[in-house]
Amino acid sequence: MMPEIIIHEVGPRDGLQVEPRVVPTDVKEAWIRALMASGVDLVQVGSFVHPGKVPQMADTDELFRRLADTPGPRAALSGLVLNEKGLERALACGVELVCMGVSASDTHSRKNTGMGSEEAQRRIIATALVAQAAGRKVQVSVQSAFGCGFEGRVPDQRVLDIVWAYVEAGLLNISLADTAGHAYPEQVQRLFTAAQGLGPVTWTAHFHDTYGMGMANVYAALGVGVGTFETSFAGLGGCPFTKVAAGNVATEDLVHGLQRAGRRMDIRNGALVDVARQVAAWFDREMPGRVHRTGPVGY
């Protein structure tokens, strides 16, 4: 039986973090509230990073304070944490799912966190365990799991070693992230299948569409039992610390495809399209997503 699909909207963080034009907090809040009410399962509000390094994320704490007590049925709120200080901030302002990760590329890890992969792995595991002890849900990831813009091919075993370290520590909600957009479907199936043999993990996939393979990779992962996908409104996004920053799979595109097959009909894709169009209008440029431009298939 194919798994139910969980949609984790990461546009407010991964979508916006690379943008040099800073979006005002009130505008972000309006977009996020619309996403929260759309029927998606999770919304990543921002990351707890130094504002000098990623100015777009300087208002993450304030956004969580505004959004955390929103009543009624809504998406859960997640936030990205890179280190111990970031976790302290996340715990103080109502983050429901704490996301953190380690890059399988040593070069990317140093550019992103100032630490090599081995040091980052030790610190992230320790930090994740603190978050769990504080009663928060935790997701850990392997970034650059399918390749690196600086180092090229990343050996599968390097990825699996990080996954095994998570599993040994009891961290069983794991994402494999295609930070550089190098993944291709056969690789996705091979790596997730190998990783699934390491323990009873809840798996998430995060794909960038740098080379046009994003949606194909989503369906490859779905075919081997992955049930959670991180996507971004309008296909916006990219890691500012990778060699070629390019957008994510567009949330509204994925939901449109799923709904054509009768899946996740509970999500109001019209609301997602509206947000994507607002984002495109605010930045005054064409976005990489498709459905917010073409409209959905009408039958």
Q: Is residue 180 part of a domain?
A: yes
**Domain total in the chain:** 1
Distance CA 126, CA 114 (A): 17
Q: Is residue 1 part of a domain?
A: no
pLDDT tens-digit profile, the chain (299 residues): 445 899 999 999 999 988 989 999 999 999 999 999 999 999 999 999 988 888 999 999 999 999 988 888 899 999 999 899 999 999 999 899 999 998 887 776 676 677 777 777 899 999 999 999 999 999 999 999 999 877 789 899 999 999 999 999 999 999 999 998 999 999 999 999 999 999 999 999 999 998 899 999 999 999 999 999 999 999 998 655 554 556 899 999 999 999 999 999 999 999 999 999 999 999 999 999 999 999 989 75
> In this structure, what CATH number is given to the domain that contains residue 89?
3.20.20.70
Q: Is residue 90 part of a domain?
A: yes
Q: Is residue 244 part of a domain?
A: yes
Q: Is residue 229 part of a domain?
A: yes
Catalytic center residues: 239
Domain of residue 77: give its range. 6-294
Q: Is residue 49 part of a domain?
A: yes
What pTM was estimated for this model as a whole?
0.94
Q: Is residue 148 part of a domain?
A: yes
